[in-house]
Amino acid sequence: MTNVVANRHAGRLAIVTGAGSGLGKATAERLAAEGARVACVDIALASATSTADGIGDAAKALQCDVSDPASVTACVEHAVAWLGNINLAVTCAGIGTLAHSHELEFAEWKRILDVNLTGTFLIAQAAVKQMLVGGGGRIVTIASNAGLMGQPFSAAYCASKGGVVNLTRALADEYIKRGITVNCVAPGGIDTPLQGAFAQSLPEGTSWKDMRKSMTPLGNSQPEEVASVVAFIASDEARYMTGSIVSIDGGLTL
């Protein structure tokens, strides 16, 4: 982990979704290294537990399906019982597959929208309730370069991430006078298991190499680099930022 800022997040009580893998894991680790206590939330409890165990006393694993309102309510209740009022939420949980749009099953469309967009809203909604009681806080959503541009075979993913981008702006505007900032990080080309899910679902007759070429002009990056951007946006140094969409995608959306 590079350039950790000691105690930058001391006193921060955070919930990080998707904390079992990739960007969520790196974000939970980074925030804890900078002094936050972190509820590590994932649908895969074993993965979340592994992240929390790696962090130690400052972390606790919680299982949650972010697309299920009842699951989110129960999870946030557990998080609050452990942490107190949450004052930081980072929504990293996300999924994606590729398919020709004319062949995309409705169930797959719905699954991707439910997790990526509805899941982001449900966690943000629960976090805002906490932040209104506690006097403010920070929300950082995770979109994608695919929320800012078109990408073949990705109708559901692009739609969900475009939704996250404008959901972020809507929440930022709504709560700007209530001490809550809402910003979005839009990564692209980060080496995580999600990249494998895309590669494995590539439609027949298409080339992952060609897709990748269009995806990452500067080559791939690592989750820790995204976590570093999230840690800054979640900090007091970013007080004046809200409603911002911050790309970290190796130049893909120039």
* Residues known to be catalytic: 157
DSSP 3-state helix, strand, coil percentages of the chain (rounded to 5)? 50, 15, 35
Among 18, 137, 162, 163, binds ligand NAD (CB under 6 A): 18
Q: Is the dihedral of CA 223, 224, 229, 231 positive or negative?
A: positive
Residue 137 contacts ligand NAD per CB under 6 A: no
Residue 15 contacts ligand NAD per CB under 6 A: no
Among 29, 42, 83, 90, binds ligand NAD (CB under 6 A): 42
Residue 22 contacts ligand NAD per CB under 6 A: yes
Between residues 225 and 232, which has the closer beta carbon with respect to ligand NAD? 225
The count of chain residues that interact with ligand NAD, using the rule CB under 6 A, is 32
Instruction: Answer for the pair 166, 244: CB distance below 8 angstroms, yes or no.
Output: no
Angstrom distances, CA of residue 135 to CA of 118, 175, 177:
25, 11, 11
Q: What is the DSSP letter of 187?
A: E
Cβ neighbours of residue 195 closer than 8 Å, sequence gap 6 or more = 189, 220
How many residues appear in the chain?
A: 254
Cβ at position 63, least distance to ligand NAD in Å: 8
Among 189, 242, 245, 248, binds ligand NAD (CB under 6 A): 189
**Within 13 Å, how many C-alpha atoms sit on residue 168's CB side?**
30
The one segment of 100-108, 125-133, 183-191, 205-213 that binds ligand NAD by CB under 6 A: 183-191
How far is residue 13's CA from residue 61's CA, in Å, rounded to a whole number? 14
Place of tokens 């400052």: 58
Residue 44 contacts ligand NAD per CB under 6 A: yes
Among 39, 55, 66, 122, binds ligand NAD (CB under 6 A): 66
Interaction with ligand NAD in 86-125: which residues (CB under 6 A)?
A: 92-96, 115, 119
Residue 163 contacts ligand NAD per CB under 6 A: no
Residue 29 contacts ligand NAD per CB under 6 A: no
How far is residue 247's CA from residue 254's CA, in Å, rounded to a whole number? 9
Q: Which of 209, 99, 201, 218 is nearest to 158 (CA)?
A: 99
Residue 23 contacts ligand NAD per CB under 6 A: yes
Between residues 132 and 165, which has the closer beta carbon with respect to ligand NAD? 165
The one segment of 1-9, 100-108, 175-183, 190-198 that binds ligand NAD by CB under 6 A: 190-198
**Within 13 Å, how many C-alpha atoms sit on residue 192's CB side?**
25
Among 40, 88, 112, 142, binds ligand NAD (CB under 6 A): 142
Judged by the rule CB under 6 A, the positions of this chain that interact with ligand NAD are 17-18, 20-24, 42-44, 47, 64-67, 92-96, 115, 119, 142, 144, 187-190, 192-195
